[in-house]
Chain A
Amino acid sequence: MNRQRQCLLILIALGGAALGGCATVEPWERDLHAREDMRPNEHDAAIDDHIYFSKEASSGGRGFAGGGCGCN
């Protein structure tokens, strides 16, 4: 089995576990999830991703790698 197929199976398993294995949190219990600090800070993440992208051989992961550059 190649690596990609293994990854896909893991994703399906995780997705299944997430869908079926967790307690339901009702909308009125989302006060903590609604807090600003519980959400991703996309502005800072975009800045960081651009710096790391220009200094390392990896990029993306949480989303698309975004616009390329001729970074040195």
Chain B
Amino acid sequence: MQLKKPIGAALASATCGLLGALPAIPVAAQEAPTWEVDTSLLYYAEDAGRVSDGSLMTSIRRLLDEDRSYSLILTVDALTGATPNGAVPSNSVQTFTAPSGGADYTIAPGDPPLDPNFMDTRVALSGNWQQALGESMRWNVGFSGSYEMDYLHLGLNTRLERDFNRRNTTVFVGAAYGRDDVSPIGGAPVGFSPMLRSVGGGEDEDEDEDEEGAGGGEPKDVIDALIGVTQVLSRRSLLAVAFSYGKSDGYLTDAYKILSVVDPVTGAPVPGPVGSGLNLYLHELRPDTRAKQSWFAEWRYAFDRDSLAVSYRLMDDDWGVTSNTVETRYRWNISEDTYLEPHLRYYKQSAADFYRTVLFDGEPLPQFASADYRLADNETYTAGIKYGHRTERGEYSVRLEYYHQTANPSPGSAVGDLANFDLVPPLSAVIAQFGYKFSF
């Protein structure tokens, strides 16, 4: 029953989440539960045997009093499947060496080169403390951390919110710092070095490499800053606008991605290092800094029964990526206990300056190059719906989403045989989420 009641100002502000999200507008204080628990089980699956992910996420929020609260979020992800390695299809069988150097895998003629050895478990924990500073200010401080076999993230963040105009306006500023250590299995390859067949490839060697990788990896520092305002426009609507700036410095290359080197006329792969039996595939290389900025605006409108949220984000960075994202959700409150929430999202980005679907034999190497489809000129759409039902014990929900991405190869890539292939195959994924939340 508590879930149906408006909750207090402290709780409303506490919904800002752990990572510095937009603050909710303060509302009049009323009865508030002491504990809030929100948990969900997520299944994410891409088509064509690509990545699938099973994830469990639990958020716990504790209200100590009207002025203070803390929260924790624990996430465990188990990922398996195949992921594009960056190479392009070919008319002949292609052989690749797995990142560990221990096992080769082959790709049939015409098939997209997918590395089938993708498997990882990710554990992430974040926490947040919120404290009122007087009647109109709130201060948040939080931490975040995540661990994967080849990746460690640790971070701190803080945010200050100030209400003005009889709490119709909330201005917020925030900052975050993250330190990541990337420890690729088999070590971080030198940029543009050719893929080699493993020497020995025995278990002992793999173990040694894993041990090396888990310790001192390639570092990456990330700094983010955020400033914004949430404004009540009327009894029914509010607008939030935020500007954020982020700078990454360190190892930004994907150690597992390669590029095909092909004949500039026929498009056929060229032979790799003598005696390797491999075609020529070069490890990618990205700049070691990235600065990005984004504008975000969200408008919410309450109908008598339902509500509508529309948001827009513009992002650009010094890698040449500019993206536009439009997203909307309509909350159809069928009854006091039951709702449906359709969701649509459209995203479009330009390619990074150094994105190359292939490299051509005989041409000088660029300063940087990556064939990662996530840096290509691409567009995606997401369509989904969420069903929720409240009982006296809590709220159950089911969410289904469909995600589809199409990308374009870099101009001039489809030479010779390559014109017959889908150089950057489309990606489709389904997302199923089961949620249960309650408070007491």
> Which chain A positions have C-beta within 8 A of B244?
60-61, 63-64
Does B238 touch A at the CB level, under 8 Å? yes
Residue of A nearest to B303 (CB): A32
Chain B 316-355, CB-CB to A under 8 Å as 1, else 0, gives 1101010101000001010000010000000101001000
Does B174 touch A at the CB level, under 8 Å? yes
> Which chain B positions have C-beta within 8 A of A31?
6
Q: CA–CA, A2 to B335, complex, Å?
A: 51
Residue of A nearest to B315 (CB): A58
Q: CA–CA, A68 to B151, complex, Å?
A: 9
Chain B 10-25, CB-CB to A under 8 Å as 1, else 0, gives 0010011111111011
Q: Is the CB–CB distance between B169 and A29 below 8 Å?
A: no
Interface of B is mostly: strand
> Which chain B positions have C-beta within 8 A of A44?
386, 399, 433
A29-B235, A35-B6 given; A68·B22 CB < 8 A: no
A56-B374, A70-B120 given; A26·B166 CB < 8 A: yes
Does B167 touch A at the CB level, under 8 Å? yes
Q: Is the CB–CB distance between B236 and A36 below 8 Å?
A: no
Determine which of B174, B243, B298 lies in contact with A11 in the assembled complex, contact meaning CB atoms within 8 Å.
B243
Residue of B nearest to A36 (CB): B3
Residue of B nearest to A31 (CB): B6
Residues 193 to 231 of chain B near chain A (Cβ within 8 Å): 220, 222, 224, 226-229, 231
> Which chain B positions have C-beta within 8 A of A11?
227-229, 241, 243
Q: Is the CB–CB distance between A47 and B42 below 8 Å?
A: yes
> Which chain A positions have C-beta within 8 A of B231?
18-19, 22
Does B414 touch A at the CB level, under 8 Å? no
Does B239 touch A at the CB level, under 8 Å? yes
Residue of A nearest to B351 (CB): A57
Does B131 touch A at the CB level, under 8 Å? no
Q: Is the CB–CB distance between A33 and B238 below 8 Å?
A: yes
Residue of A nearest to B179 (CB): A68
> Which chain A positions have C-beta within 8 A of B435?
43
Residue of A nearest to B81 (CB): A72
Does B160 touch A at the CB level, under 8 Å? no
Residue of B nearest to A57 (CB): B321
Residues 15 to 67 of chain A near chain B (Cβ within 8 Å): 15, 18-19, 22-40, 42-47, 51-52, 55-58, 60-67
Residues 389 to 410 of chain B near chain A (Cβ within 8 Å): 399, 403, 405
A residues adjacent to B (C-beta < 8 A): 3-4, 7-8, 10-11, 14-15, 18-19, 22-40, 42-47, 51-52, 55-58, 60-70, 72
Besides A22-B234, A57-B375, A61-B296, 20 other A-B contacts (C-beta < 8 A) = A18-B169, A18-B241, A25-B168, A28-B28, A30-B235, A32-B235, A37-B306, A40-B15, A42-B17, A42-B21, A43-B38, A46-B73, A55-B374, A55-B403, A58-B323, A64-B176, A64-B244, A65-B222, A68-B153, A70-B182
